[in-house]
Amino acid sequence: MTAGAWYTLCMDADGESRLREQIMHRLMVVTARNGGSITRGELAAFDLGDGRTRRLIDHSRGIWNPRDLSATLAIVSSPDGPYADEEVDGGLLRYDYRAGTDAGDNTKLRVAAELGLPLILLRKIDTGVYVPVFPVYAVDDDRANRRFLIALDEGLRFLRDPRHLTEDQRRYARRIARQRLHQPEFRGRVIRAYGTSCTICSLRHGELLDAAHIVPDSHQTLGQPVVRNGLSLCKIHHAAFDEHLLGITPDYEVRINADLLDEVDGPMLKHGLQEMHGQSLHLPAARRDWPDRDRLAHHWDDFLRAS
């Protein structure tokens, strides 16, 4: 590429960066409202919030290269897809080239790497349903192994050698993967399973819902980030659950701490907590997603000790 062509490309990248910032800001708003996930239909005609729409996903391929942009905008990582995308060293995602040539669709992803342009990673969690992770960055083009390495955080963009991380870099990368990849996926799966509503009070505002672990993820055997170890809870019920002011029996009934039941305060305490005592959970439509009774029993024991 000539110096003039490179200069023009960099100038165009400034405009692309501003557009990407607008898209990602709007995507943050929409996915928060949805409880962390977004459908293919929404991505195919994404509302930018200013009267315009823009496609954020390809019709059938795992990489979206808009014709009017110089670089890739979004990539899909699917556990049931045809390519062997997987995490490398815990915090870098290996994104394999499309089959065949190392050009084609890969060319615009290479430009994104060269210009440091932010990308949207769409993690497939169900048929036609994705959890967006953004911004992510292509930080290494490994032609010998026909793959790119994708950094999940801006702090990983400037690694000197992404293919050979130091132990400190690995620890940081694993922590970033947990924060930027695993936690959003867990949230998206759990809140979607509960129909974007609180299992206790049925609040349906996704931006006010959390995916609560029944057993903390620090627990080696029961703390896995799976739907059956999760509850969709509004923020007040999540905080009360974690602080053992609210418990849930293995039979899916809500209990409030006895001292809290006797307390006299304002309407939030009365209607938000005390009146929930004895209520049954609003469970997911699919029985396979119902909270695991053994995990609830584990947390219930902690609630009883705290009470």
* Residue from 57, 177, 209, 32 nearest 128 by CA: 57
Backbone angles phi, psi at 157, to 5 degrees: -70, -30
Q: What is the pLDDT averaged over residues 85-91? A: 68
Half-sphere exposure of 41 (CA within 13 A, CB side): 1
* Predicted confidence (pLDDT) per residue in 129-175, tens digit: 999 999 999 999 988 888 999 998 887 877 888 888 888 888 888 88
Q: What is the pLDDT averaged over residues 228-235? A: 98
* Per-chain mean pLDDT for the chain: 90
pTM strictly above 0.75: yes
The pLDDT confidence band at residue 4, using thresholds 50, 70 and 90, is very low
DSSP letter (8 states) at residue 182 = I
189 by Cβ neighbours in 10 Å (0-12 / 13-18 / 19+) ranks as buried
Neighbours of 203 (CB within 10 A): 19
- Inter-residue contact 283 to 290 (CB < 8 Å): yes
* Residue from 125, 84, 297 nearest 211 by CA: 125
Q: CB within 8 A of 44, min separation 6: which ones?
A: 55, 56, 57
Cα 260 from Cα 275, distance rounded (Å) = 11
Which amino acid, one-letter code, is at 143? Answer: R
* Residue from 153, 222, 161, 227 nearest 194 by CA: 227
pLDDT for position 131: 96
DSSP letter (8 states) at residue 98 = P
The pLDDT confidence band at residue 182, using thresholds 50, 70 and 90, is confident
Backbone angles phi, psi at 4, to 5 degrees: -65, -45
* Predicted confidence (pLDDT) per residue in 280-302, tens digit: 999 999 999 999 999 999 999 99
Neighbours of 256 (CB within 10 A): 21
- 3-state SS string for 243-295: CCCEEECCCCEEEECHHHHHCCCCHHHHHHHHHHCCCECCCCCCHHHCCCHHH
